[in-house]
Amino acid sequence: MLFSPTIHMPICLPPSSYTHTPSVASPVCVVTGASRGLGRAIALALGAQGARVAVNYAASAGAAEEVAAQIKAAGGDAIVVGANVGQREDIDKLFQVSEGGV
8-44: pLDDT as tens digits: 555 555 545 444 444 445 788 999 999 999 999 999 9
Total domains, the chain: 1
* Domain enclosing residue 88, as ranges: 25-101
Average pLDDT, the chain: 82
50 in a structural domain: yes
86 in a structural domain: yes
Q: Rounded distance, CA 46 to CA 11, Å?
A: 11
Average confidence (pLDDT) over 60-73:
96
Q: How confident is the model at residue 100 (pLDDT cuts 50, 70, 90)?
A: confident
Give backbone dihedrals phi and psi of 99, rounded to 5 degrees, phi first.
-65, -35
> Which pLDDT value is given to residue 27?
84
Q: Rounded distance, CA 84 to CA 67, Å?
A: 18
73 in a structural domain: yes
94 in a structural domain: yes
32 in a structural domain: yes
Residue percentage of the chain with pLDDT more than 70: 74
Residue from 16, 13, 35 nearest 98 by CA: 13
Average confidence (pLDDT) over 79-90:
95
Residue from 63, 27, 20 nearest 46 by CA: 27
Burial class (CB in 10 A: 0-12, 13-18, 19+), 91: middle
> Which pLDDT value is given to residue 73?
94
CATH code at position 39: 3.40.50.720
8 in a structural domain: no
68 in a structural domain: yes
Higher pLDDT, residue 67 or 21: 67
